[in-house]
Structure 1
Amino acid sequence: MKAVIFDFDGTLADTLPVCFYAFQSVFKEFDGIEIDSDKIKAMFGPSETGIIRNNLLNKNYEEAIELYYKKYSEKHLELVANNKEINDLLEYLKTDGLLLGIVTGKARRSLDISLKILEMNNLFDVIVTGDDVKMPKPHPEGINKVLQQLNINSSEAIFIGDSDADIQAGIDANVYTLGVQWLESFQTSDFTIKPKQVFKSINKFKQFMIGNSSTIPCTFDD
C-alpha cells in the first residue's frame, strides 16, 4: 500500500452541518423556501456551485454562490469541531510514509476554507475537488486523477468514504474501498453498495492500518 485517499465531508471532517446551514440560508434568501437536510443530500454530487446552479429557482446564481461561501465561512468554527482522532490518524499515516489524497465533490474554495480552519493545509499530497472533474462521484474520474498524479496503480491505494457515491466510485476505480460512519454526521447510514468493510471507529481503523500498512488484505474484521 502506498496511498490512502479520502472523501472529505462526513469522512475527514464533520462539515455536513455547516454545508446544510449554508445551503438552507441560500434557498431561504433567494427562493424563499425552507429546505431540510435530506433534500440537500439528494442534491449532492456536483460542487456547491453546481448544486446552486442546478437547483435554485432564482437566477442570481453568482450572488447566491457568494452568500453560500459567506455563510459557510462565518459558521464554520461554530458548527465544525476540530477532531483530534482524525488529526492523529492523518499524522500517523504521514509518518508511516503513506501518501494522502482527497477526492471531494466540494468546490476548491470551500475545501480551502475547511482545510485552513482545521489546520489540515499541509497534510495532503494530492487534492481533487468538484472543480477538477467533469464527472462527479459516483463516477471514478476523481479517484483516477489522484492515482495518476501520485503515479501509482489502483492496487496500491485504498479509498475511504461515507456515501454510496463514494463506494461506487472506489469500486469502479478498482481501488480497495472502505465505508466509514465514524463522525457524528455522515451521508449514508446503510450502504446499498457494499464496501469491503465499514468502520465506525477512527481508532479501530488506525489499529488496522498499524497492522496492515504494507499490504491491502483480501478480508479483515472490524
Structure 2
Amino acid sequence: MIKAVIFDFDGTLADTLPICFHAFQAVFKEFDDIDITDGEIKAMFGPSETGIIKENLLNKNQDRAIELYYEKYTKNHRNLVPDNEEMNNLLLYLKRKGYKLAIVTGKARRSLNISLECLNMKEFFDVVITGDDVNKPKPHPEGINKALKQLNIENNEAIFLGDSDADILAGKAADIYTVGVHWLLNYQTQRFNVKPNTIFRSIKDCRQFIENRSQHNIFN
C-alpha cells in the first residue's frame, strides 16, 4: 500500500529549469565571460548549484559567483516560474488523504526554499532532502534512502517521481517504484534511457494512479 510520495523538484514539482538556466548563464557570463547553453548546464546537473559553480567556474571568485546566482534566482523567479494551481491541488489532495510527502532534490536548500516560498509549497512536505544533505547526489540512492528513513517508510510503501534518468536510476538503486514525469513545459530528459516503472504525462495521471493503487501492492 502506498504511504508516501517522494518528488524530485526541478522539472517535476515546478517548472524551475528556466530560472536555473538564467541564473547560471548570468554567472558564467559575468565571471568567465562565456555564453553557456541550456544543454551545457543540464550536463552539469547532479551537485547543488553551489557545487556546480565550484566544479565548473574557472574564475576564482566563486563565493561572489554563488551570491550572484542566488541574486538572479530570487529576482527573476516570479517572472520565469509560473504558479501551478493544479500541482498545488495535487499536493493538497495527497496531504488530505494522509500520504506522507517528501522532496529529494539536487538543489541547494537555499534555492529550494526560495522556490517553495514563491510557489506557496512550503507547508506540504514532511521531509526535504537537498543536495546539501548528501555526500553522493543522484543517481546515487543516498537521498531517497535518507528520505525513506526519516519518513519511517519501507521502500515498497513509497513511489518516487522524477524527470531525469538520474532520478530513475536513483529510484531503482533504492529499490523503490519509479515514475518518470513529463507533465511540465520544461523537463530534463526528453526520452528516458532507463525505463521507469511507469510514466505520467499529466498531473491528473498521478491522482488517478494513487486512487487506483492506494489499497494494493504497487508492484502488482
Tell me how far 1:6 sits from its aligned partner: 0.2
TM-score by length of 1: 0.97
- CA–CA separation in structure 1 for the residues paired with 2:216 and 2:51: 38
Q: Deviations over 1:140-195 (max 9, x none)?
A: 00000001101111011000000000000000000000000000000001100110
Alignment of 1:3-152 (within 5 A): 3-152=4-153
TM-score by length of 2: 0.98
Tell me how far 1:28 sits from its aligned partner: 0.2
Any stretches of 5+ residues in structure 1 without a counterpart? none
Q: Is the 8 A contact 1:140 1:169 kept in 2?
A: yes
- CA–CA separation in structure 1 for the residues paired with 2:119 and 2:215: 29
- For 1:183, the equivalent position in structure 2 comes to 184
Q: Is the 8 A contact 1:176 1:216 kept in 2?
A: no
Q: Is the 8 A contact 1:3 1:100 kept in 2?
A: yes
Q: Is the 8 A contact 2:156 2:218 kept in 1?
A: no
Identity across the alignment (%): 63
Tell me how far 1:215 sits from its aligned partner: 3.0
- CA–CA separation in structure 2 for the residues paired with 1:211 and 1:121: 27
- CA–CA separation in structure 1 for the residues paired with 2:186 and 2:53: 22
- For 2:215, the equivalent position in structure 1 comes to 214
- CA–CA separation in structure 1 for the residues paired with 2:209 and 2:53: 39
Q: Is the 8 A contact 2:31 2:59 kept in 1?
A: yes
Which amino acid counterpart does residue 87 of structure 2 have in structure 1? I
- CA–CA separation in structure 2 for the residues paired with 1:100 and 1:213: 15
Give the secondary structure class of the aligned counterpart of 2:110.
helix
Which amino acid counterpart does residue 115 of structure 1 have in structure 2? L
Instruction: Give the paired residue count.
Output: 219
- For 2:193, the equivalent position in structure 1 comes to 192
Stretch deviating more after TM superposition (202-211 or 4-13):
202-211
Any stretches of 5+ residues in structure 2 without a counterpart? none
Stretch deviating more after TM superposition (132-141 or 81-90):
81-90
